Structure 1
């Protein structure tokens, strides 16, 4: 019994050793076959997630990546990434480079000159597409520009089942078209044929999008500079110019006389426009005073 136990133990150890050796051989020759969409494993040679280069027999994946990192110079890094994408046979979908101003101050250096100081931080939001087989290479080239990597995600969506389903739907659509063709031509047949063709067009469009996404991987890249930059811009001293022309005594006096003259003219014209009212008011005042005078004289006589 003891001999049998020892024999079984040695056999188990031997099998474990063989299994470990085989796993090591497979990992060294074809590690991408064991990668998954949420894998955190990296390839030592280029420090890129194995998801980017993953290949599994009888499986098809749509691969995407999202990178957020800090770089020394956003503008130069943008040019470098765009050139790398073109060299790999890809293209840039979007590149939105902008400088966010943190502060802006003006300092006068003389009566005529001043210096505008801007503190800003440059960033760029990019979206590029590269052939899927070149995704790992692009991620390596982008990674070479980093100062600090904030985050990076690489995803591989398995759409094998979706492709099979799309093929079955295409066959069903074709069969439906053949069945409709056998119907007697009338208004209902035309409607059915039109609906079937519309469904077929949607399936073709979906198939084209899927094929394109399989062929080209989409990579979203956000880069920024870790520190603020300072721009010194020579400008004119506007304060001295404003003070120089803010008040001119002789001109203001002249303008005052002109304004007063026109004001008198406007008053005279306004009075002329309301002469009927002035006439009525004058007559009213005249009769009011005359009546008041008559009453006063009458009161004196009565006394």
Structure 2
């Protein structure tokens, strides 16, 4: 654009030069005038071009800053570990979240709904209320108020498709009042997968070698042991495949403040006092108890009659011996 403008000025200068008189003085004066005009125009154009360039550079910088800011927001909302993908690498991803929420029950429902929408499932959910204190206050002779102070918490374990792990963590984060901790682990199991494949081939080769042996007791034992080892290897491979497909998240949520529950109950103290003492019934019960006590004593004596008979015989012989024993007079000194 700047070059085109200079060419345009040069053409004008050429035309004016041709139209001037052939006088040398006139031509020199015209050249000076044209040169001054050309210089002023070039300076003016250069200043305008510099301003425009500065504006463009400022706009690009603002756009870059906006893009960088948006990128920073994305990286903050979704963990890089949760979204990490490396060529020729396999990762088993797990996460642990510990946070405080306004309402544990509503947060639990929201998390379970998000898990279901993302194609996952809940393997454990243990919602409970821990009672801090419990007191009963009588409000009348018949009524009372039970006041409980408690704190609600929930321990959950969910499985989510690995590619949806970041989305679920973001959804869980929207329920928090305060995040105590969040840990994400990506275990590289690429070598384990290769080792599992090699073990499967080895097991198959061993099975082929055993089949070539003569049939006897040792062959049956070897084949059984090899088959058992192969089944364990298949089970391990299935578990690893499942862990690669679904990530496990352990979630602990609780309410930061105590809740208070007021429950209307019956005044048991007044009822206890009402029926605690009854003289007529207690007196009657006392006579009946005394009568049965006498019966139990008599029955008890009857049960030990041999002992009573032996004791009576011993007492009789002792008294008889004492009576039959002679008494000798004392010798006077």
Q: TM-score, normalised by structure 1?
A: 0.75
1 CA distance for matches of 2:229 and 2:183? 35
Q: Does 1:232 align with 2:253?
A: no
| 8 Å CA contact 1:127, 1:219 repeated in 2 | yes
Query: 2:210 — aligned with what?
Result: 180
* TM-fit CA distance, 1:263: 4.0
Q: Where in structure 2 are the equivalents of 1:68-87 lying within 5 Å?
A: 68-87=98-117
Q: Where in structure 2 are the equivalents of 1:34-49 lying within 5 Å?
A: 44=74, 47-49=77-79
User: Higher Cα Rg: structure 1 or 2?
Assistant: 2
Taking a change above 3 Å as real, the CA distance of residues 282 and 166 of structure 1, as seen in their structure-2 partners, is closer
| 8 Å CA contact 1:117, 1:230 repeated in 2 | yes
2 CA distance for matches of 1:286 and 1:142? 98
Residues 24-79 of structure 1: CA deviation (Å, up to 9, x unaligned): 9xx98xx9xxxxxxxxxx86366131111111111111000000000111111111
2 CA distance for matches of 1:280 and 1:44? 107
Paired residue secondary structure (2:256) = coil
2 CA distance for matches of 1:141 and 1:196? 47
Paired residue secondary structure (1:95) = strand
Q: Does 1:93 align with 2:123?
A: yes
Q: Does 1:136 align with 2:166?
A: yes
| 8 Å CA contact 1:103, 1:119 repeated in 2 | yes
Gaps of 5+ in 2: 1-63
2 CA distance for matches of 1:205 and 1:270? 71
Taking a change above 3 Å as real, the CA distance of residues 285 and 239 of structure 1, as seen in their structure-2 partners, is farther
Paired residue secondary structure (1:110) = coil
Taking a change above 3 Å as real, the CA distance of residues 67 and 288 of structure 1, as seen in their structure-2 partners, is same
Query: 1:115 — aligned with what?
Result: 145
| 8 Å CA contact 1:74, 1:123 repeated in 2 | yes
Taking a change above 3 Å as real, the CA distance of residues 278 and 82 of structure 1, as seen in their structure-2 partners, is same
2 CA distance for matches of 1:271 and 1:158? 85
